[in-house]
Amino acid sequence: MAGERGVTLIELMLAFLILCSATISASGIISYGHRGTKKDFRRVEALQLLTEKMNRLCAISFSKANSYLTSAGVDSYTFTDPVEGISLGEIVVPSSKDKFRASATLKRQAIAFPPMMKLTLPNPGYLASDVTTWQLEDTGNVWFDGVTGVNHYPYRVLKISVKVEPLDCNPPELAVEAMSFITDLEL
């Protein structure tokens, strides 16, 4: 039977085995890629939530934000419940059903100024666009604690920190955080 052509059962089984192992390997790679894509989507959702929360918190006036710290009697406070209509705490994104925890911290920020010169006003000849009309006085080193103090100048600053962390992820994913400042520069 040396002249007969065809495929034996063993050759078919071997070819099928090779096809199965290649398919299983490919499905593992596709599954791994899908996990990475889902993780990327959660990261983008976390960044979008972070941006939205930070923008809304920065829109709060200094006096309103400072009143929360004053009424609590502290210089730093972390919010985990809604504040000023801004949802904080556990958040579920409706489109993906992903869960996140968002928190925001307000803190009175101490500021140190190197030696600086204070603009003397009123100054009848003062023009903001002409530096030769500026009259300055030396104030020396200035330290401002953000609330009161010996050198109490009206440079009041609140630091805002927002943190968004994904929940129900295996393995756990890193949280995203951002920081900004609210200032009160009115005299």
69-124 pLDDT, tens digit per residue, is 888 888 899 999 999 899 999 999 888 888 999 999 999 887 766 666 677 778 88
Give the pLDDT mean for 145-167: 72
Angle ∠(161,166,167) on CA atoms, nearest 5 = 125
pTM of this prediction exceeds 0.75:
no
Per-residue H/E/C for the chain: CCCCCCCCHHHHHHHHHHHHHHHHHHHHHHHHHHHHHHHHHHHHHHHHHHHHHHHHHHCCCHHHHHHHHHHHCCCEEEECCCECCECCEEEECCCCCCEEEEEEEEEECCEEEEEEEEECCCCCCCECCEHHHCCEEEEEEEEECCCCCCCCCCCEEEEEEEEEEECCCCCCCCCEEEEEEEEECCC
128-132, 144-148, 164-168, range with greatest mean pLDDT: 164-168
Residue 20: φ, ψ to 5°: -65, -45
Residue listed under structure tokens 């959660």:
42
6-10, 11-15, 129-133, 151-155, range with greatest mean pLDDT: 11-15
Q: Are 166 and 98 in contact (CB under 8 A)?
A: yes
- Distance CA(68)–CA(155), nearest Å, equals 19
- Distance CA(113)–CA(136), nearest Å, equals 16
Residues 6 or more apart whose Cβ sits within 8 Å of residue 164? 46, 47, 49, 50, 53, 100, 101, 102, 175, 176, 177
21-65 pLDDT, tens digit per residue, is 888 887 777 776 666 677 888 888 999 999 999 999 999 988 899
Over pLDDT 70: what percentage of the chain?
Answer: 81
Query: What pLDDT score was predicted for residue 153?
Result: 47
- Whole-number average pLDDT of the chain: 82
